Structure 1
Amino acid sequence: MRAALTRYRWIAWVVGVVLILLVVIGMPLKYGFDNPVVVETVGQVHGFLYMVYLVAAFDLSRRADWPLKRMILVMLAGTVPFVSFWAERRVSSWVTAQEAAGQRAPEPVAG
């Protein structure tokens, strides 16, 4: 599960940065200065990377056995600027806690 978490963390950061570029630079250029070049190029890159993000989030959610609601919320986090960074931290803490709980030694059976 550690490799799935690493893949998810990496793509969450990349998607977050590209989305911020799109919103902070591309959208003002397109609508304020009538220059859609950044939106046309970065928008397509973000679309592709978001699909990779969805696959990584799905893979991690299946390995961590998350409920459907959590999986969907994590997947939607890549659509709002800055939220993917927050979600990445939350997901990392969830998975780390889950791994720590699973790695505890079994309690002896009183007999």
Structure 2
Amino acid sequence: MAAEPAATAPRLPRALARRVGQGVPAALTRYRVMAWVVGVLLIALILVAVPLKYAAGLDQPVAVIGTAHGWLYFIFFLTACDLAVRARWTLRGTVLVLLAGTVPILSFVAERIATRKTRAGERV
């Protein structure tokens, strides 16, 4: 009797297969920069702009910082997705990292965990 063939990993389309795993260090750097930028802006929004709005009646800081955070979060989203594809993150890990960018201080924690695991070659 012929032996059963060993289970093989699912095959990726050629274009995606060439891209996966390449450029991870550069994608990781882009992700780290954007995680810090988004995290700092979110903290500034929550700890500075929102209190100014309600304590002093100043709407301008919320409008400026909130808009900047929104647009830069979109760039953070793209960089995190790019890194997730290149480093073959799990769907769960990718979603958790993306959600961490919406919670003050959590983006810094998620960035450290994602950086440590990606550099070690582990899936997030």
Using the size of structure 1 for normalisation, the TM-score is 0.86
| Percent identical | 48
Q: 1-side partners of 2:25 and 2:121: how far apart?
A: 11
Indicate which of 62, 65, 70 corresponds to 1:47.
Answer: 70
User: Alignment length, in residue pairs?
Assistant: 99
| One-letter identity of the residue aligned with 1:9 | R
Partner of 1:12: 35
| One-letter identity of the residue aligned with 1:76 | L
Shift of 1:39: 0.2
Q: 2-side partners of 1:66 and 1:91: how far apart?
A: 9
Q: 2-side partners of 1:96 and 1:9: how far apart?
A: 12
- Residues 70-106 of structure 1, C-alpha deviations (whole Å, 9 max, x = no match): 100000111011111111100110101107xxxxxxx
Partner of 2:83: 60
- In structure 1, stretches of 5+ residues that fail to align are 100-111
Q: Which structure is higher in RCO with an 8 Å CA cutoff and minimum separation 6?
A: 1
Partner of 2:17: none
CA RMSD of aligned residues (A): 1.0
Q: 2-side partners of 1:80 and 1:50: how far apart?
A: 12
| One-letter identity of the residue aligned with 2:65 | V
